[in-house]
Structure formats: structure tokens, C-alpha cells
Structure 1
Amino acid sequence: MTEGQREEVRVWDLPTRLFHWALVLCVFGSVVSAKVGGNAMVWHMRLGYAVLALVAFRILWGLVGGRWSRFTHFIYSPASIFRYLRRKPNAGERFDVGHNPLGGLSVLAMLAWLLLQIGSGLIADDEIATTGPLIRFVSGDASLAWTGYHKSWGQWGIFALTGLHIAAILYYRFGHGHDLIGPMLSGDKKLSCGAQASRDTLATRVFALTLLLACAAAVYLMVVIGEGGG
């Protein structure tokens, strides 16, 4: 297939792209604020709540979002993963549009790890001035154990997954000539004919914003109720 036989296809809808970069900024800010400590812990907590709202939104968007943002289009069977590794897809099977099988696994791993990290933070106690809003729902021993996890395995897991993600981007860029960052900025990939585009209309964007606001409201209510304000 020559370059002239390729076409621009909308793969990543705007809500997916905004989620991706907002998550990058919030996780980065959360890590930095935790390292700074002190008064910055207020922002660590706020950014943690933002990450929770974003992850909740992404889970919902994985069910009802644009075609290639849905879990059904990047959760592959073990057989498909094996065929991808062997570079022998079945007839009609394409791995070049959305997330490939390994990319799909990395997305699921990151979402799951972030949920675990946020959950541990909600019941953590740094024994200085900061406690999670849900700490009153667990025992002191449980809070202590999860606080230790949050500061050790939890954060190192995020570092490891982020490092693998960056390594994969570099590998595909310089090893295979595939740009993964550009499409996450523009939303489009240059693909051979036949790839179905994701729906990315004003209506879907308004719907996505409504979902995000609902997730943010749910996180806010959880925090308020947890802190005894509800």
C-alpha cells in the first residue's frame, strides 16, 4: 500500500485525547507535590481527586466512547495477542488502528494501578498533617498498611508503568517508524483504506463533558461525605 493509497482517519476522539493529556499533567503534578511535601500536600490531594474523576470518566468512556476508545476494541483474546507477537493476524484483523494488543494491556494496567493507588491514598495517614478522607472507615492497622503501600509499591509501580509506556513510544517511533504521540494530539492516523473512524462530533463531546462533570461531582460528594460533611 503506497502513501497515496492512505487516508487520514479519526482514531482518537477529542475527549480521549483531552483525558490522556490531563491525566499526564495530574499524575505528574501529584508526584511532584508529594515529593515537595508540606503545604504542597493540599495539591497532592486535589490532584489525586482529579485523577480519580478522570479514571472514572475513562472507564465510562471505554464503554460508550468513540469506536477505538472502547474496551471492546482494545481488549484482545490471548490468541490475538499471540498472533500480534508473531505478526500473523487473521484475515480482517487489524492492529494498526487503535491500541495494539500490548498497548491495550498497558492501558488496562495503568487504569487499574491508578485506581489502587488512589484508593490507598483515600485511607492513608502520613502521621503529620494529611489524612485521606475515607480514613474513618478503616482500622488504624489497615490505614498504616495501605499508607506504606501508597508510599512504596504504589508509587514505584506508577513509575515503572510510565517508564514502560515511554519506552514503547520510543521503540515504535525509532524501531518501526510509527508515531504514537502525533495521533494523540491531532486525533488522526494515516491508514490504509477500510479503517472505520471514531465518532467525534459536537454531540459526543458534550456527552463526554457531561460524563466528566458527573464523575467529578461523584468524587466531590465522596470526599465531603467521607470527611463527615454529608
Structure 2
Amino acid sequence: MTNENELYEVKVWDRSIRIFHWVNVLCVLALMTIGSAILYADFLGISGDGKITLKIMHAYVGYVFAFNLIWRLVWGFIGSRFSRWGSVVPFGRGYVGELKDWLYGIRNGQAPVYRGHNPAARLMLLALYMLLVGQMCTGLVLAGTDLYFPPFGHEFAEWATGAGEDHSQLIGLVPGNKELLDPEGYAAMRQFREPFIAIHKIIFWLMLGAIFLHVAAVVYDEIRHRNGLVSAMITGKKVLRKPSKD
């Protein structure tokens, strides 16, 4: 085998990163599907009870999504080399120079090979993680204001019922049941909720765009460089055609 045909199989993604990635993919797909059904419930002819069921399903999947994302955030400080934030986010000494070299290489057909994420991918990942964290935080607030689910549901239920420390008023408080609600407290709680709904919807549409760009970039890289990005998220190994820069 000649040098120009030599392949370099390199270990990149550890097991924790690979599990996070695919769990996240499944959760985001499920959340977007259920969320779209909730958003267009009237158009789809979904009843009030059906909409509550969808919201409960959305929340349960959201908890899996949140736990998985929180673990990834922690793993970025204690995990293997290419899972750490220093190798993922577009910061640090020399990053701007690396990005310029990579863009110059793309234009000239000689882009540097990276074992981990290339400089442009790190920009995309920063945007994706910011969107994921924003969606998680707003989703947890909405689960509390709409379904009285943890971690904030108890506090919102107290607000909506005017219970204060009289927790007996919270017994039997279920989504859609307004018998125990204090009109003023409930109205104030729902007003507090409004901006979180707006942000949650905005992030939804931004995530659709970001996911499209992410998938398009992966397809481009697979066709252009044939480094096995998709298979690397299964096996943990990339196949490079020349030594990497990192």
C-alpha cells in the first residue's frame, strides 16, 4: 500500500459521548414531533384531554432529554480529551488562526484534517448546545406552569392556588382542573409563563435550522473527506487519509 492510499484509524469519541449523541437525537426528534402536535392541536382536531396527554408525554421525554444533556455538560469537564469543552467550543488561544487556516484550506481543496471537531464544527456545536440548554430550561419552567411537574411545579401550584404554605390545597391539583385555583394567582402565574412559551417556540424554529445545517455539514464532510463521521458516532473511531492536526 502506498502512502497516499494509507488510512489512519483513530479513536476519537468515548462511549459516553456516543450514548449521549444518539439519546439526544431520539429525544429531540420525539420532542419536536410531539411539540408540533401540541402546537397545531386545534388544526389536527386534538381534544383538550388529548392535548394534556400529549403535554405529559412531552414532559416525560423532556426529562430524559434533560438528564442526558446535564450529563453531557458534566462530562465536558471530566471526560476524555475530545469530549472536554476545550476541544468542543470555539475558544482558546489560536482558535481564530485555526479557523482562518481551515477556511483557506477549504477554498483551495486542502483543508486540514482534525481528529476531533474542525474549527467550523466547533462554532456549530456551540450554537447547538446553547439552543439545547435554552430549550431544556424553558421546558422545565413550562412543565411546572402547565402540568405542575418538577422541579418547579410545586412552587407554581402554590402560586396558582394561593396556597402559600397550606399544602393541603395542592392535593388533587391536576392539569386542566381549575376548581382549586385562585383566579388572581393563576392569572399572574400564566402571565409569568408567557415569555417562556415565546422563547421555547423561537428556539424550536432555530433548532430546526441548526439541525438542518448540522446534517448538511456531516453529509458534505462524508462525501468530500470520507472520514466516517456517522460511523465514528457508533464505533468511536474515525478513518483519516492523512495525519490530523490535533
Q: State the TM-score, normalized to the length of structure 1.
A: 0.71
Equivalent residue for 1:49, pick from 63, 72, 77? 63
Is contact 2:113–2:244 with CA below 8 Å preserved after alignment? no
In 2, distance between residues paired with 1:75 and 1:32? 29
Q: Tell me the equivalent position of 2:24.
A: 23
Task: Specify the SS of the correspondent of 1:124.
Answer: helix
Alpha-carbon distance between aligned partners in 2 of 1:52 and 1:125, rounded to the nearest angstrom: 12
SS of 1:111 mapped into structure 2: helix
Identity of matched residues, %: 26
Q: Secondary structure at the match of 1:102?
A: helix
CA shift digits 1:131-155 (9 cap, x unpaired): 56426469633311111221x2121
Distance in 2 between the 1:11 and 1:59 partners? 18
Q: Report the counterpart of residue 126 of structure 2 in structure 1.
A: 108
The answer to whether the Cα contact below 8 Å between 2:62 and 2:136 also exists between their aligned partners in 1 is yes
Alpha-carbon deviation of 1:191?
3.1
CA shift digits 1:58-115 (9 cap, x unpaired): 1111111121111212334222212221129xxxxx6420111111222221111111
The aligned runs of 1:73-152 (5 Å cut-off) are: 73-76=87-90, 77-87=95-105, 95-124=113-142, 130=147, 133=150, 134=152, 136=155, 140=189, 141-150=191-200, 152=201
Greater gyration radius: 2
CA 1:51–1:58 in 2, change beyond 3 Å: closer, same or farther? same
1:28 Cα deviation from its structure 2 partner: 0.8
Distance 1:15 1:49 in 2: 18
Distance 1:195 1:67 in 2: 15
TM (norm. structure 2) is: 0.67
Partner of 1:3: 5
Q: Is the 8 A contact 1:126 1:147 kept in 2?
A: no
Task: Find the aligned partners of 1:157 and 1:167 in 2 and give their Cα distance.
Answer: 15
Measured after TM superposition, the shift of residue 194 of structure 1 is 6.3
Q: Considering only aligned residues, what root-mean-square deviation do their CA atoms show, in Å?
A: 2.9
* Matched pairs, number: 190
1:29-68 alignment to 2 at 5 Å? Answer: 29-37=30-38, 38=51, 39-68=53-82
Q: For the residues of structure 2 that align with 1:66 and 1:131, how far apart are their CA atoms?
A: 38
